[in-house]
DNA sequence: GAATCAATCAACCCTGAATTTGATTAATTC
DNA sequence: GAATTAATCAAATTCAGGGTTGATTGATTC
């Protein structure tokens, strides 16, 4: 409460185009610093989790004075909240609907490979789960309900065998899709270092696609 | 280095049977305190992760003087290492082999539901992954190789369609099986509070069983 | 171009939490 | 049953790390 908020000016073109500062030259730009802090924070939190992350590290990575974190976000907690909120937001926005189930799943795999920090962040958040649903719990519940409904519609569509429950399947698929990043240690134990690579994501996506395909009602 | 090790006396019956201390009565028992600390530590670390866990909390829960942690384990790090090692050990020991794949998976689900702390612990450990394999990395790699080999044998046995790669499948299954505990937040968003219950584990296991069943080569 | 406000910075403070130290007392040995 | 060792405890120490304060200076406005 009471910290600066750096409103992203409604019309982006209104203010004079802010040139990127040249080397050595020091320039003030709240939006830029805010963005840098957020970016660095996302990485750090994703890498180490909330508790193990040091604000000084974030500041250093963002090339910003550490006090500015309090200035803009009111402290570690506030920064974290904002990072999580942003991640959830972008995550929810990229639900490519109206595709066959297998393609949605595959897209999810590739998507999370493109931004591994996001998966990890959500995983930390999940583990930190204290059992009671928070403010955005409702939103998440709503979101999940939609997803379940989507799977169910696909089932009615004849894409999914009748003995599989959409809700359970959804949980499995979400978990399985993010496995290369959330179970990185195990993934590495199985596949070696390449498990983190981009190519791996595509072959993994393909495998998941095949599995989903096997779930179609052949001899239902 | 230099801390007490409380050797679990080779012959367990050698020393006089240690009666459990009566209320009010104070009694010294290195093995008991060691065990209590380990148990409490497992819970705490599983609940909050390494960084967010306070030794004082562990001590309190174990009803033990906090200094004894240093005394027996040489500090937080040492304690954590030991907890992880023990968890990995028991985890590796309970691979019920020679069962059909679907049953192994189901057993894994039920097993991890019986000891959610273990799943969570390994999940934290996974997330903390720094990219380079540590001392027990080799052991884990070996263990995983075995598991992959097991799946592959099942595939040769005609239990698994030819278009599925055992290694990829294994990763998915491990991830999916532990989902109720590792993705507890999402699980709760989908199913509500009951996702943590024991009954849920059995229905979830059944669902996973069905999915694996769908992977058998019908029209290979 | 003077005045005002916003952004940045460096230094200090304060708390929580791990570790160290030294004393105390139960168990064990001879 | 005295001496020795091992286990336990309370208090002191240290230190990392998040938050706070006050000064400084770039931008903006009139």
> CA-to-CA distance for B40 and B143, rounded, in angstroms?
28
B29-43 pLDDT tens trace: 999 999 999 999 999
B141-166 pLDDT tens trace: 999 999 999 999 999 999 999 999 99
Q: Is the pLDDT of residue B220 over 70?
A: no
Report residue B202: phi and psi, to 5°: -70, -40
According to the model, what pLDDT value does residue B10 have? 39
> CA-to-CA distance for A123 and A179, rounded, in angstroms?
10
> CA-to-CA distance for B127 and A181, rounded, in angstroms?
8
Give B204's contacts in chain A (Cβ within 8 Å): 168, 171
Closest by CA position to A71, among listed A103, A113, A28: A28
Q: Cβ contact (<8 Å) for B167 and A191?
A: yes
> CA-to-CA distance for B220 and B63, rounded, in angstroms?
59
**Residues A208, A209, A215, CA angle at the centre, nearest 5°?**
95
Average pLDDT over residues B6-35: 56
Average pLDDT over residues A8-22: 37
According to the model, what pLDDT value does residue A92 have? 82
Q: How far is the CA of B124 from the C1' of D21 (A)?
A: 38
> Token pair of B202, please?
């059995």
Enumerate the H helices of chain B as residue ranges.
30-52, 55-62, 67-73, 76-93, 101-114, 116-127, 137-156, 166-182, 184-191, 198-214
Give B49's contacts in chain A (Cβ within 8 Å): 49, 51-52, 127-128
Q: Is the pLDDT of residue B167 over 70?
A: yes
pLDDT tier for residue A176 given thresholds of 50, 70 and 90:
very high
- In a 13 Å sphere around the CA of A139, the CA atoms on its Cβ side amount to 9
B86-131 pLDDT tens trace: 999 998 888 767 899 999 999 999 998 999 999 999 999 999 977 7
> Token pair of B212, please?
């694996």
pLDDT tier for residue A56 given thresholds of 50, 70 and 90:
very high
Give B125's contacts in chain A (Cβ within 8 Å): 185
> CA-to-CA distance for B174 and A156, rounded, in angstroms?
29
According to the model, what pLDDT value does residue B13 have? 30
Higher pLDDT, B107 or A23: B107
According to the model, what pLDDT value does residue B127 have? 92
Q: How far is the CA of A83 from the C1' of D23 (A)?
A: 31
DSSP state of B17: P
A83-104 pLDDT tens trace: 999 999 988 887 767 899 999 9
Q: How many CB pairs under 8 A join A and B?
A: 171
Average pLDDT over residues B176-185: 93
Q: Is the pLDDT of residue A147 over 90?
A: yes
Q: Is B191 on the interface with A (CB under 8 A)?
A: yes
User: In which residue are the tokens 């982006």 written?
Assistant: A12
- Distance set, CA B213 to CA B135, B158, B218 (Å): 37, 12, 10
Interface of A with B in 117-136 (CB under 8 A): 120, 123-129, 131, 133
């Amino acid at each position: 409460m009471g910290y600066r908020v750096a409103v992203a000016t409604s019309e982006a073109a209104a203010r004079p185009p802010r040139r990127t500062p040249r080397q050595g030259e020091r320039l003030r730009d709240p939006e830029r610093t805010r963005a840098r802090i957020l970016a660095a924070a996302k990485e750090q939190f994703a890498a180490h989790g909330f508790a193990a992350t040091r604000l000084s590290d974030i500041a250093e990575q963002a090339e910003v004075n550490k006090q500015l974190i309090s200035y803009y976000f009111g402290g570690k907690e506030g920064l974290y909240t904002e990072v999580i909120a942003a991640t959830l937001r972008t995550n929810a926005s990229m639900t490519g609907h109206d595709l066959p189930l297998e393609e949605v799943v595959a897209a999810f795999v590739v998507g999370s490979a493109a931004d591994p920090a996001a998966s990890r962040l959500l995983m930390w958040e999940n583990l930190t789960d204290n059992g009671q649903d928070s403010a955005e719990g409702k939103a998440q519940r709503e979101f999940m309900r939609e997803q379940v409904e989507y799977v169910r519609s696909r089932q009615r569509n004849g894409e999914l065998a009748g003995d599989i429950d959409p809700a359970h399947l959804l949980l499995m698929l979400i978990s399985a899709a993010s496995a290369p990043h959330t179970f990185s240690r195990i993934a590495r134990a199985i596949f070696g270092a390449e498990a983190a690579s981009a190519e791996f994501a595509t072959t993994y996506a393909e495998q998941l696609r095949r599995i989903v395909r096997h779930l179609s009602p052949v001899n239902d």
